[in-house]
Amino acid sequence: MRKVGLYLEAEPHFGGTFQYNQTMLDALASLPCEQFSVVVGYTSDRWLPYLHNRDMQVLRIERGTVARALGLFWTVAGLPMGLWRRLTPLFHPIARALLREKCDLWIFPSYDLRSYQYPVPSLVSIHDLMYRYEKRFPESSSGWASWNRERINSCNSRWSKGILVDSQLGREQMMQSYGTPAQRVHALPFIAPRYMHSTVVRDDFDSTYPSLPKKFLFYPAQFWWHKNHKHLIEAVAELKKQLPDLKLVLSGGRQNAYEAVVRQVQGLGLGDDVIFLGYVPDEDMPELYRRARALVMPTYYGPTNIPPLEAFAVGCPVAISGIYAMPEQAGGAALHFHPDSSEEIACCIRRLWTDDALCAELSEKGRQRAAQWGQEQFNARLRAIVEAVLHDENG
């Protein structure tokens, strides 16, 4: 009997990270109980509804404010991490709680800032090295953020037993960037979050979104510069004379580059054609995708992304950047363009807006793609990775 732990620190407002944690929780719950025992450590009581009626041990872990602050100081000061790992069992509440369970492996599904600080066998997630590959954006090139990510990732590469990435390209990037041995980097592609499979539509949906057009393109994304709203809006402006009924709906918190996007929309005279929904709760996302003509996602970041998987799950046609591992993720079920080219984006939009047969074809291909890789396949792949990491540990 092998004992596997899952450390849950992400909270609901973490968005996709929180959903990925839920996916991992479901996957561990599917491990055969005659071979594995599972313990779940959580730091927030917001996890309790998701842990109810689970056939697994659960324990509340205190974060330890002072210990975390000391860890940050130790990291910033560049002091030896090996020494810190030897010291944490003496005083750090997280390290002590994890060690007390004597797990053969602890899984950290979030991009965890401190997993390498605890002297436990760990499997950690690193889904994004774009700060290395897309340095032109302020969110990538910030001195502190870049330095901190480098430190975290190099330490995880040094101290973890295994690393989870989103794709084969992500695996290659991890090995290239940090020299991580190939046998310790494991590709575990994302799946659509569980809420995308809900068919429930709340009674007040239409009154909650009164500005929602009958026909619209959809782009759900926070307003980071790398999300590339700029070229998408340029493409919409280019097409308005040909397609006067063209509408674009954007969701995402009003922060980061939001004000710049609003100014661009107003400057191009698109105030009636680009609708800002603000933050949208998870339970409303399936209906927005179902009503959308298509998802158009011109992001520069990858290697892969969650929104196309959400769209595939409900049969919403997809057009997305054709860079990094995004074409591999779509598997022929989406249109692709270069995110630098508003002309290419406009070409894809024109086809999606005017060609019903194309949209029907992409909708069916998306559903088929979603059926090929879901929770069942994710569960099986994670089990294989866990067994491989445990085997290597024994070796």
Whether residue 289 sits in one domain with residue 174: no
Whether residue 108 sits in one domain with residue 64: yes
Cβ atoms of residues 193 and 23 within 8 Å: yes
pLDDT at 14: 67
Instruction: Return d(Cα 63, Cα 71) in angstroms, integer.
Output: 12
Per the structure, the count of domains in the chain is: 2
Instruction: Return d(Cα 160, Cα 126) in angstroms, integer.
Output: 11
Q: What single-letter DSSP state applies at residue 387?
A: H
Token couple for 88: 């944490």
Instruction: Return d(Cα 378, Cα 199) in angstroms, integer.
Output: 22
Instruction: Return d(Cα 382, Cα 113) in angstroms, integer.
Output: 22
pLDDT at 18: 85
Instruction: Return d(Cα 357, Cα 191) in angstroms, integer.
Output: 27
Report the CATH number at residue 11.
3.40.50.2000
Whether residue 160 sits in one domain with residue 115: yes
Per-residue pLDDT of the chain (395 residues; tens, 9 = 90+): 899 999 998 877 667 788 899 999 999 999 999 999 999 999 999 999 989 888 899 999 998 889 989 988 888 888 899 999 999 999 999 999 999 999 999 999 988 778 999 999 999 999 889 999 998 998 877 777 788 888 889 999 999 999 999 999 999 999 999 999 999 999 999 999 989 999 999 999 999 999 999 999 999 999 999 999 999 999 999 999 899 999 999 999 999 999 999 999 999 999 999 999 999 999 999 999 999 999 999 999 999 999 999 999 999 999 999 999 999 999 999 999 999 999 999 999 999 999 999 999 999 999 999 999 999 999 999 999 999 999 876 54
- Model pTM? 0.92
Collapsing DSSP states into helix, strand and coil, what is residue 338?
Answer: coil
Instruction: Return d(Cα 106, Cα 313) in angstroms, integer.
Output: 30
pLDDT at 395: 47
Whether residue 130 sits in one domain with residue 202: no
Full domain range(s) for residue 147: 2-191+374-394
pLDDT at 122: 97
Bridge partners for 336 per DSSP: 320
- Provide the residue type at 377 as one letter: Q
Q: How many CB atoms lie within 10 A of CB 11?
A: 16
Whether residue 380 sits in one domain with residue 367: no
Going by C-alpha positions, the residue among 247, 20, 257 that lies closest to residue 125 is 20
